[in-house]
Structure 1
Amino acid sequence: MSEYTTGELAKMFDVSIRTIQFYDKKGILKPSHISENGKRIYTEEDVSRLKLILMLKNLGLPLKAIGEILASDNSMIVLDLLLEQRLRAAKDQVSLRTIDDIDKIMSNKKALRKVHMKMVILGLLMDVAEIGGLVWGIKKGQWVPFILIMLLAIIFAIWITKYYFNSVNYICPNCNYEFRPKFRAAFFSNHNPKARKLVCPNCHQKNYCIEVYAGEADVKIAE
């Protein structure tokens, strides 16, 4: 079996030695063993793991999320689904036979992006209102407006959260089943920008399920 030092591994993937050392420090790419002279030694299995890490990183996932995915039993399936969402046109992911297929995929991505942007914009506006109410209270000594704004903020937060979870579905990496989780299950689950750890109502396995725009899809709501 081939073995590689930190420098050789870094050169193979055109990354810096510090990057490999950083991944080691974060616990997502540990060397297979340390040589007698103190060098970190990596094997072909580590090469495959680094390749997966870099793919997930290129998809925009933070290292914490990458570590969670690598620790799951279906890390490769999760990667496939992420690539399918990001690169549906690639032949090794899915066959796109018609213009309608491409249009549907692009529409889904745009709609999901709109949901995210709407939440960010509304959230920022609410933050401005809260800060304005706080400043008014400090300067004028009148706290009633601030209290009313905070009450409205709580109501708004509940509404925007429900709006978000009603706008998205999730695809199970194990059985490729699309579903919508109950609000409580989705709200308290571990998640990253692309996926959420949920129990699939079809195969009943708990995995990082990929987020997609719900649209008018008729899907099962998880128990």
Structure 2
Amino acid sequence: MSEYTTGELAKLASVSVRTLQYYDKKGLLRPSKIVESGRRIYTDIDLSRLKLILLLKKLGLSLKAIDEILDSKNSITVLNLLLEQQQKAIKDTLKDSREQLKTIEELRKNLPQINQVSLKTIDDIEDIMKNKKELRKVHLRMVLYGIPFNILEYGTLAWGIIKGQWIPFIVAIFILIIVATLVTRYYFHKTNYICPNCGAEFKPRMKDAFWAKHNIRARKLTCPVCGQTNYCVEVYDDGQLKNS
């Protein structure tokens, strides 16, 4: 049977000498013998025991639990019970982590794309998330309003091409213009903008907002508070303008 010094055993198991000394102190892994010079000598049995200790530790078991397993006559039963407890604890942790991840994703998704918005209480976060959800509802309603009228437009266009009767198409265009005007007014009535320079929330004139350059989240507008022209972030109009 092979014999190993503390350093050799540490190297074989990829642990530090200090770790072996600590396990020795705790009674987890004592050397098979100590020679006259004081050197601790370990054997292949000790190496196997060390590997088991490291495996159980990797599974998340405490040194106290590992000691109970190694010293028990019913070690398999004890190990099974401890692993069952550890499995449950890990599952609970995973569940909590998934819930935390979901909350983080939801919060990040609903945070405004602007640095000047400050958070002081949980109510601020709830207000921001509620605002973003309401804004998405506005966008969804606009899409839903447009679907039947798009069908009307293309349907009457196809009818005109096939039958040569263009009056239904012309009537549909007039209806679409009216509907588009109403939907646009509804959209700008339900939205405000936040200035990235001073953080002021404001509602621009409809014509200014309509003709302004824009992307999916912002429009290039002039802030009535600081006077700067920037891409201002779109937010839902909850009826209470907040100026910083």
TM-score (norm 2): 0.50
Aligned residue in 1 for 2:132: 109
Aligned residue in 1 for 2:211: 188
| 1:85 has 2:112 as partner | yes
* Partner Cα separation in structure 2 for residue 139 and residue 84 of structure 1: 50
Tell me by how many angstroms 1:146 deviates: 1.1
Tell me by how many angstroms 1:167 deviates: 0.7
Structure 2 letter corresponding to 1:175:
C
- The counterpart of 1:153, out of the listed 158, 176, 183, is 176
Q: Which has the higher helix share?
A: 2
Tell me by how many angstroms 1:103 deviates: 2.4
Percent identity reads 47
Structure 1 letter corresponding to 2:217:
K
* Partner Cα separation in structure 1 for residue 167 and residue 117 of structure 2: 57
Change in 2 beyond 3 A, CA 1:165/1:174: same
Change in 2 beyond 3 A, CA 1:180/1:219: farther
- The counterpart of 2:121, out of the listed 97, 111, 115, is 97
Change in 2 beyond 3 A, CA 1:166/1:128: same
Tell me by how many angstroms 1:171 deviates: 0.5
Tell me the secondary structure at the aligned position of residue 155 of structure 1. helix
Aligned residue in 2 for 1:172: 195
* Partner Cα separation in structure 1 for residue 223 and residue 114 of structure 2: 24
Please show how residues 1-223 of structure 1 align to structure 2 within 5 Å. 84-85=111-112, 94-98=118-122, 100-218=123-241
Aligned residue in 2 for 1:62: none
Change in 2 beyond 3 A, CA 1:198/1:108: same
Aligned residue in 1 for 2:35: none
For structure 2, the residue ranges without an aligned partner over 5 or more in a row are: 1-108
Summarize deviations over 1:68-95 as a string: whole Å, max 9, x none.
xxxxxxxxxxxxxx9941699xxx9743
Change in 2 beyond 3 A, CA 1:165/1:219: farther
* Partner Cα separation in structure 2 for residue 219 and residue 101 of structure 1: 12
Tell me the secondary structure at the aligned position of residue 85 of structure 1. coil
Conserved in 2, the CA contact under 8 Å of 1:130 and 1:150? Answer: yes
Structure 2 letter corresponding to 1:180:
K
TM-score (norm 1): 0.55
Tell me the secondary structure at the aligned position of residue 173 of structure 1. coil
Tell me by how many angstroms 1:216 deviates: 1.5
Tell me the secondary structure at the aligned position of residue 207 of structure 1. strand
Summarize deviations over 1:187-221 as a string: whole Å, max 9, x none.
1111111111100001111011111000222479x
* Partner Cα separation in structure 2 for residue 95 and residue 159 of structure 1: 36
Number of matched residues? 135
Tell me the secondary structure at the aligned position of residue 193 of structure 2. strand
Tell me by how many angstroms 1:140 deviates: 2.4
Change in 2 beyond 3 A, CA 1:185/1:211: same
Larger relative contact order (CA 8 Å, sep ≥ 6)? 1
* Partner Cα separation in structure 2 for residue 203 and residue 145 of structure 1: 50
* CA RMSD, Structure 1 to Structure 2 (Å): 2.6
Summarize deviations over 1:164-191 as a string: whole Å, max 9, x none.
1111000011111100000111111111
Tell me by how many angstroms 1:102 deviates: 2.8
Structure 2 letter corresponding to 1:134:
L
